[in-house]
Amino acid sequence: MTRPDPELASWMEDWQSGGSEPAAEEREAIRRRVKRRTRGLILLAAGELVFSAGVLAFLLGFALRHPHPADRLTMAGLALITLSALGFAAWNRRGLWKARAETTAAFLDLSLVRCRRRQQSLRFAWGMLAVEAALFVPWIWHRLHLDRSTPPSPAEYLGAYGFLAAVCAVTAVVLVGLERWTRRELRQLEAMRGQQAARKRFP
């Protein structure tokens, strides 16, 4: 490398005098924190699988304990949705596990793909929510009327369907929030990519 001119050399000197070098204790603390967060990320990924396995086990157990065709059909539908979600998640992550250590231009492209895939996941989640709600509405009706001579009271209807509505509403709010966040990130990434493309054409 050729020796920088005085202006650049002076900026380099000023720039490099900033940012404190982490002392041994701080390095140790950073390493501990980093390992803890890495373990957290692994646990999160494992938790997703364990949760799905737990849901499937619960659905199977419920279907075995309740032989009514409506119960079994609903549990089979929910199990199918859970398995589809797992399959979709795996399919949607294809090609996203490339090494992070690519160029920043390649990283920007990868970030854009990740963002668009997240949008696909969210669309899938909306569909899942709709199908689940469509399964739960008749099933709740069936459970409320099962093995009883008198019809359920309005309070029972309200409790059961109100709970379903609340779960759907909370899920919808979370999905809308995630959609907004993803759209904002996508806009910013596209703007960065656009700047980069323009500079490539007119450096």
List contacts with other proteins (CB under 8 A).
1, 7-8, 11-12, 14-22, 27, 30-31, 33-35, 37-38, 99-108, 111, 181, 184-185, 188-189, 192, 195-196, 199-200, 203
- Min. distance of Cβ 180 from other proteins in angstroms? 11
- Min. distance of Cβ 177 from other proteins in angstroms? 13
CA trace torsion 98, 101, 104, 109 (10° rounding): 0
- Min. distance of Cβ 123 from other proteins in angstroms? 21
User: Around 48, how many Cα atoms within 13 Å sit in the side-chain half-sphere?
Assistant: 11
Nearer CB in complex with other proteins: 18/69: 18
Nearer CB in complex with other proteins: 78/115: 115
Nearer CB in complex with other proteins: 8/173: 8
